[in-house]
Structure 1
Amino acid sequence: MINDANAKRPLVAFAGHPWVEPEWMNRQQILSRLGKRGRRVAYSFGALDWWQRASSRWSSSPLFNQAEHRDGIVDILPGRLGARWRTFKAFDELALGRHARYIRSQVARPDEKIIAMLFDPQFVPYIRHLEPCDVVYHAYDDFSGQPGWTDEKASLQRQLLERADMVSASSEAIARSLNFPHVRVLQNGADVEAFLGATNQPEPADLTDIPHPRIGYVGTLNRKVDFPMIAQIAGERPDWHWVLVGRIERQELENDPELSEAFHACRTKTNVHLLGQKHRSEIPAYVGNMDINTMCYRHGGTGWWNAVSPLKLHEYFSSGQPVISAPVPAVMTFSELLEVAESPQDWIDHLTQLLKEPDSRTAARVNVALKNSWNNRVDVYEKWLEEMQLTAIGTTG
């Protein structure tokens, strides 16, 4: 095993969103822990693009690239002067190279071999500017099933799979969607310590006026959420209060006529409460002050939501509170610890039962969450990186 921190190769990671966000996704959970364990880690969401000139992201960006140390990693803020210009290939290539060399220089010597970790195939063009490097790809979503997937993006993903020295995915379903023979599965975990004792936390101010029973959902409000089911049950049971905490992807919902209609129906109901996105430090108090927490997803068909590995699963378990979920494949492994609802009537039946009688599985849920913490997930991922490094040394030695 390679336990010496100095032997851990520097890691440069690319994903499609800024590091600083109200909620943390798996990339922040994984990379911050790798950084705090002695690995030099830099993170980038890529160079700016000239087409962004009218956006708030452009106006809030620095003139030159900046590197800020936070959460155990080096966070790269792209500068406006280093923006890409995709129409002019030679200029664009210069911008790619400049950005790649800058982020690399923050954690590694010019001749030092690094690990390039991509969370999205769109960053494949940076790889050639990061050499010498091993390449790892962590697929956190079924990109091929999402709106906007094009032949160009499919080509980039094929290139990434062919170049990668290691490929992992957040769920078995995502792994299968890659149609690649050697994919390791690293399901999402939980920051368990943050959610233990969540039921003892004070009520957030915007919850205090919402009556019980409260049926909670924490997460992005987008096409994966079963708004038709919520609207139907909210209409049939006006004394049950649905509390939805998360960012609303309005454009995505508007592009789906059925969901858009159901979402607007939810907004008109006095027992459906949209509380907006919260900082990750606030989330445990919301989870702990619900009567039941849910993963109220759509299911069936070929939608990308069938492949998700819910970040909230083990967060909910950590709180000990009762949980109901749609039959998402990644959740079914834990079906003994939660209720699974396929139809609106299933939801009504399970909600009625859980609100009527105490749930005896609190301790069991917490114990499972402890085994599925992000710390344990990163233990596994570090071993995979070490195995990859040892294999590379053996091949070249």
Structure 2
Amino acid sequence: MVKESRMTDAPPGSVAPSLPRSRSSRRPLLLCFSHLRWDFVFQRPQHLLTRAARDHEVIFFEEPLYRPGATPRLDLHETPEGVTVAIPLLPEGLKGAAAVAAQRALLDGLLAPEAGRPMIAWFYTPMALEFATHLRPDVTVYDCMDELSAFRGAPPCMMDMERALLARADLVFTGGRSLYEAKRNRHPRVSCFPSSIDAAHFVTARTPQPAPADQEGIPGPRIGFFGVVDERMDTELVGALAAARPDWSFVMIGPVVKIDPAALPRLPNIHWLGGKRYVELPRYLAGWDAGFMPFARNESTRFISPTKTPEFLAAGLPVVSTPITDVVRDWGPREGAEGLVEIAAEPVGFAAALQHVLDRPRAAWLKRVDRRLAQLSWDRTWAEMQGLIATVRRGAVRAEVPVGAASTVRSGP
């Protein structure tokens, strides 16, 4: 659902339409460059930028879509949260320098009427520097939520582009502790903001509610996963678990990308339900008995800090994960104490851990969960980020600082 949608031709040299004027034009701009689509999966960028839209004019500039015979143009629409999504549409076959030039022209046309307004440039992908390096924002933020160079299909120049972005960024935020440790000596102002939680949204899953139509006929106990299904998932583990426990149903929610859907395990007790809207997730989770995070252990998962970890917990679901570093350190057992998340590496141990959490009384565990989650919120994360941005705007940290000297960890466990 969108408030407004416009398709606008913008050949080189033309002026793209101005932004929606539903709010005061005196508000600063926050221009976000993202490798993720706004309407793909509701995750870190959406949580933060919907909060930013309360006092900024937020533009979410996506990677281009290619259409046969298209004239370069922008598709602009405003989301119900007040974020303007800008999608460059380019002719199929346009590549290299020509595609970069087209995106730069579209960006310049979009920003021309906004000259003189305070602006934050917010990067999720270093590759956007190819067409945005000429911008001179008041503050540049690199919110590093993933090690994109380790993902399947990453451009060969990704690491070079990240070095360029780190050289011009005023602030670097990381989506987890492993990423923080990898970046903290590469920039003087690195702050760690791990996965947070919209607890009020997911806690509704603790209340019994009617089952969605495509889950209603799936027998219990139900073990569930939600998220993107890609090279980060250990599909062999999923298949082995389903084969070992045919009495359990494995409910898999999420879009399949970058891997062949035909290669996914297909057993009678594995149910691939596809992607669901964020608003629908609690209704599905309300019908699950436990969650699982069957992440592969490879370069693409080395630095991840899954947002779904606290979301499972807020829903009241015990969860078992493979030994992802940030999950183990932030949520797993420590110093002999039981963790909030069970950790298992191989099918036999994973099945045993799932059986354990299915059998375990939950009252005491839920009290520990709620104490921990009370320390986390996306509102708090955004407020802390805003504080750092305000400091940069005041010029308090623009003096040179030795690399690593001002690195901080925030919102940690």
Task: Give the TM bin, normalised by the shorter chain.
Answer: 0.7 to 0.9
Equivalent in 122, 138, 162 of residue 117 of structure 1: 122
Q: 1:329 aligns with which of 317, 325, 329?
A: 325
CA contact 1:199–1:289 (8 Å) conserved in 2 = no
The one of 84, 108, 116 equivalent to 1:74 is 84
Distance in 2, matches of 1:290 and 1:191, equals: 19
Partner deviation per Cα, 1:28-52 (whole Å, 9 max, x = no partner): 111110112x12211111455xxx2
Q: Give the superposition deviation at 1:341.
A: 1.2
Q: 1:311 to 1:102 in 2, by over 3 A?
A: farther
Which letter maps to 2:239? A
Partner of residue 304 from structure 2, selected from 297, 305, 308: 308
1:257 is aligned to none
Secondary structure of the equivalent of 2:271? strand
Give the direction of change, closer, same or farther, for the CA distance of 1:131–1:357 in structure 2 (3 Å limit).
closer
Q: Which of 352, 355, 371 is the matching residue for 1:352?
A: 355
**Distance in structure 2 (CA, Å) of the matches to 1:118 and 1:27:** 10
Q: SS state of the match for residue 239, structure 1? A: coil
What per-residue deviation string (whole Å, max 9, x for no partner) do you get for residues 175-207 of structure 1? Answer: 344461442111121222111121323211111
* 1:151 CA drift (Å): 3.9
Residue 290 of structure 1 is matched in structure 2 by 288
Please state if 1:341 is matched with 2:339: no
Which region of structure 1 is more displaced relative to structure 2, 275-284 or 96-105?
96-105
Q: Distance in 1 between matches of 2:239 and 2:310?
A: 26
Instruction: Name the aligned partner's letter for residue 291 of structure 1.
Output: D
Matches within 5 A, 1:24-173: 24-36=42-54, 38-48=55-65, 52-54=66-68, 64-70=73-79, 71-80=81-90, 85-87=94-96, 89=97, 94-105=101-112, 109-173=114-178
Counterparts of 2:181 and 2:245 in 1: how far apart (Å)?
39
CA shift, 1:311, in A, is 1.6
The DSSP-based 3-state class of the residue aligned with 1:194 is helix
2:316 counterpart of 1:320: yes
The structure-2 alpha-carbon separation of the partners of 1:78 and 1:392, relative to structure 1 and needing over 3 Å to count, comes to farther
Residues 239 and 93 (structure 1), Cα distance of their counterparts in 2 relative to 1, 3 Å cut: closer
Question: Is the contact made by 1:96 and 1:125 (CA closer than 8 Å) also made in structure 2?
Answer: no
Determine the C-alpha separation between the residues in 2 that align with 1:209 and 1:116. 47
1:193 maps to 200
Question: What is the Cα deviation at residue 18 of structure 1?
Answer: 2.9
Contact 1:18 1:44 in 2 (8 A): no
Query: Letter of the aligned partner of 2:86 in structure 1?
Result: I
Structure 2 counterpart SS, 1:65: strand
Q: Unpaired segments of 5 or more residues in structure 2?
A: 1-23, 333-338, 400-413
* 1:147-184 CA distance string (max 9 Å, x none): 23344222111111111111111112223444614421
Alignment root-mean-square deviation, CA? 2.8
**Pick from 213, 217, 220: which aligns with 2:221?**
213
Aligned equivalents of 1:65 and 1:202: distance in 2? Answer: 41
Residues 1:19 and 2:25 are matched in the alignment: no
Other-structure match for 2:7: none
Does the 8 Å contact 1:13/1:44 carry over to 2?
A: yes
TM-score (norm 2): 0.80
Q: Residue 124 of structure 1 contacts residue 156 of structure 1 at CA under 8 Å; is this kept in 2?
A: yes
1 CA distance for matches of 2:214 and 2:281? 13
State the shift of 1:385 in Å. 1.1
Alpha-carbon contact 1:119-1:137 (below 8 Å) kept: yes
In 1: Cα distance, 2:253 partner to 2:259 partner:
17
Q: Which letter maps to 1:248?
A: V
Tell me the equivalent position of 2:212: 204
Counterpart selection for 1:252 from 241, 250, 259:
259
Which amino acid letter does the alignment assign opposite residue 289 of structure 2? D
The counterpart of 1:385, out of the listed 378, 382, 389, is 389
Secondary structure, in 3 states, of the residue corresponding to 1:275? strand
| Alignment length (residue pairs) | 365
Partner SS for 1:111: coil
Q: Is 1:238 the counterpart of 2:246 in the alignment?
A: yes
1-side partners of 2:213 and 2:76: how far apart? Answer: 36
1:366 — aligned with what?
Answer: 370
Distance in 1 of aligned mates of 2:48 and 2:39: 15
Structure 1: runs of 5+ lacking an equivalent: 255-259
Q: Does the 8 Å contact 2:293/2:320 carry over to 1? A: yes
Deviation per residue, 1:102-144 (Å, 9 max, x gap): 34347xx313341111100110123334224432111111112
Whether the 8 Å CA contact 2:231–2:300 is kept in 1: the answer is no
Question: 1:276 Cα deviation (Å)?
Answer: 0.9
Secondary structure class of the residue paired with 1:31? helix
Partner amino acid for 1:221? V
| C-alpha distance after superposition, 1:182-236 (max 9, x if no partner) | 4211112122211112132321111111111111111111121122222122112
CA shift in 2, pair 1:216/1:94, >3 Å: closer
